[in-house]
Structure 1
Amino acid sequence: MKFAISYSTAGGLDPDRLVAYARHAENCGFEGLYLPEHVVLYPGAALGSFEFPPTLPYPDPLDCLTFVAAATRRILLGTAVLLLPYHHPVTLAKRLATIDVLSRGRMRLLTVGLGALPGEAEAVGVDFGTRGRRADEAIDVLRLLWEGDGEGVDFDGGFFGLDRAVSYPKPHGVTHLPIHVGGSSRAAARRAGRRGDGYFPGGALTPGERAAQWELARSAAAEAGRDPDALEYTRWGSIDMTPERVEAFAAQGVTRIVVAPTTADPEGQRKEMSAFADRFSLSG
């Protein structure tokens, strides 16, 4: 089992605090650090019963991860989730490859999702109803650009088009970066199987629906001629979870668990991270 940790900027974006958090996570032995994304918020933006305070600070996750990469040596860099339909894949391919090169191959926990706030899509000029198809094309374009050579690549889609497009630099030492798919729907599970390198479902699912979605991701991979056993399965966990709970996750096929501190106090966060690392011997 692999263990990673997420970082919240709900209390504001302080560079010293972010670096201290990332370095402590790295020293504890966590595999990776995840940051979320919201491109824009607005009064009334809500997911279910939770309404986002419009002034909640959501910095650009890729800029933050570049900053983290310069201050750390080993920890992998992740997003949970990057809102793929709101990024143009041509510019995104270059940004991600650049981060991967500068970090010597650590931009390896990219998780993409569709976004669930209609006003966010409207603000960036994206039709909310087509964001799934747009994301599918974007994944294809990202991989084409990373895999292409000096002769360029072509793509003729409903949202994006390429004519002998050449994108350098390439990811560090690999043909393309892993792309995990996040979400809480069966459509997300199918997308993970057909196009993704892994599935990272949301937290608010019943056990039965969660199991059904994981099986759907695997079956979609097999139907697409891909190896379902190659899919990684990432899940949210709690920072106080027990070894028995981790074993239960493993029995469900989970390969990575992402946790988050329960407190906003930096000293409390460090203590929780250290306790988790000791419980599972991460640094050993």
Structure 2
Amino acid sequence: MKFAISYSTPFYGTDPDRIIAFAQHAEACGFEGLYLPDHIALYPGAKVGNFEMPATLPYPDPLDCLSFVAGATQRILLGTGVLLLPYRHPVVLAKRLATIDGLSRGRMRLLTVGLGTLPGEATATGVDFATRGRRADEAIDVLRLLWSGGADGVSFDGEFFRFDSLVSFPKPVGVSELPIHVGGSSRAAARRAGRRGDGYFPGGMLGPTERGSQLDLARSEAVAAGRDPAALEYTRWGSIDMPVERVEGLAAEGVTRIVVGSIDPEDQFDEMSRFAERFGLSG
């Protein structure tokens, strides 16, 4: 089992010293990766489920934050949970992600993308909310095409993105493509993960029966797409105080990575240290 940790900027704040101290302590504890959330813009009345989000919650750009973290760490992998893919142009995003991977010496490896649930966010970025799934599918294809393309360039002719003989450098470090995990809590997300993802990272508001059905769906979609279902990583949320028995249960469900959150801001460093000791992480 791999263990990563999430830094929730809306609750922990955006003080640069605190972000760096958190990342460095996570690395020292032996966590595999650091995840950051994403929202491009909020507005009064924005809701995720039944929860109305205060419009003033601070959501700095996760990729800028991860670049900042990369300069102050050595080993910890960099992740998003989740990056709202439909609202970013994949040609620009391919360059940004490859740049971060290069500057971090190959650590931009926990990219998780999702669709977003706020219609106003889509409208603000000029995206038809109803098409964001198809747009995300194309964007994943464009990212991989640009990363793997050579000096002769690559071309794409889709519903949302078109270009001819495009060349994108620099490339990711040591790999032809960066891993792309798919996040979400729907069967559509599970299908997308199976068809296009390197991993599936479902949300936290699902019952055990639906979780199992979605994982089976992701694997069956992988088979239908001619991909190896065993290669699909399965990431789940966990709590910083979770017992060993809970982790063993998740492993039995096929989970390969746990991302812990819900950390008490007043005690988070000690909680991280206790978690690392409980599960034998090594810095």
Contact 1:118 1:128 in 2 (8 A): yes
Q: Within 5 Å, give how 1:112-151 maps onto structure 2.
A: 112-151=113-152
Equivalent position amino acid for 1:186 in 2: R
Q: Within 5 Å, give how 1:59-98 maps onto structure 2.
A: 59-98=60-99
Supply the distance in 2 between the matched residues of 1:205 and 1:20 (Cα, whole angstroms): 33
Supply the distance in 2 between the matched residues of 1:36 and 1:48 (Cα, whole angstroms): 17
Normalising to structure 1: TM-score of the pair?
A: 0.98
After TM superposition, give the deviation of residue 261 of structure 1 in Å.
Answer: 4.2
RMSD of Structure 2 on Structure 1 (CA): 0.7
Supply the distance in 2 between the matched residues of 1:192 and 1:239 (Cα, whole angstroms): 26
Equivalent position amino acid for 2:78 in 1: L
After TM superposition, give the deviation of residue 209 of structure 1 in Å.
Answer: 0.2
Supply the distance in 1 between the matched residues of 2:13 and 2:242 (Cα, whole angstroms): 27
Q: Within 5 Å, give how 1:114-193 maps onto structure 2.
A: 114-193=115-194
Give the 3-state SS of the residue equivalent to 1:155 in structure 2.
strand
Contact 1:100 1:171 in 2 (8 A): yes
Task: Say yes or no: does 1:273 pair with 2:272.
Answer: yes
After TM superposition, give the deviation of residue 21 of structure 1 in Å.
Answer: 0.2
Supply the distance in 2 between the matched residues of 1:196 and 1:260 (Cα, whole angstroms): 23
Give the 3-state SS of the residue equivalent to 2:163 in structure 1.
strand
More deviation in 78-87 or 8-17? 8-17
Q: Note the alpha carbon deviations across 1:56-102, whole angstroms, 9 max, x for none.
A: 00000000000000000000000000000000000000000000000
After TM superposition, give the deviation of residue 42 of structure 1 in Å.
Answer: 0.1
Equivalent position amino acid for 2:132 in 1: R
Supply the distance in 1 between the matched residues of 2:153 and 2:27 (Cα, whole angstroms): 38
Contact 2:9 2:37 in 1 (8 A): no
Q: Within 5 Å, give how 1:1-284 maps onto structure 2.
A: 1-10=1-10, 11-265=12-266, 268-283=267-282
Question: Which segments of 5 or more consecutive residues in structure 1 lack a partner in the other structure?
Answer: none
Give the 3-state SS of the residue equivalent to 1:218 in structure 2.
helix
After TM superposition, give the deviation of residue 260 of structure 1 in Å.
Answer: 1.4
Supply the distance in 1 between the matched residues of 2:8 and 2:193 (Cα, whole angstroms): 25
Give the 3-state SS of the residue equivalent to 1:270 in structure 2.
helix
Equivalent position amino acid for 2:277 in 1: D
After TM superposition, give the deviation of residue 262 of structure 1 in Å.
Answer: 2.6
Equivalent position amino acid for 2:254 in 1: G
Q: Note the alpha carbon deviations across 1:183-221, whole angstroms, 9 max, x for none.
A: 000000000000000000000001000000000000000
> How much identity, in percent, do the aligned residues show?
76
Supply the distance in 2 between the matched residues of 1:261 and 1:196 (Cα, whole angstroms): 26
After TM superposition, give the deviation of residue 272 of structure 1 in Å.
Answer: 0.4
Equivalent position amino acid for 1:211 in 2: G
Equivalent position amino acid for 2:278 in 1: R
Normalising to structure 2: TM-score of the pair?
A: 0.99
Contact 1:261 1:272 in 2 (8 A): no
Supply the distance in 1 between the matched residues of 2:83 and 2:274 (Cα, whole angstroms): 29
Equivalent position amino acid for 1:274 in 2: S
Q: Note the alpha carbon deviations across 1:143-194, whole angstroms, 9 max, x for none.
A: 0000000000010000001200000000001000000000000000000000
Question: Which segments of 5 or more consecutive residues in structure 2 lack a partner in the other structure?
Answer: none
Equivalent position amino acid for 1:8 in 2: S
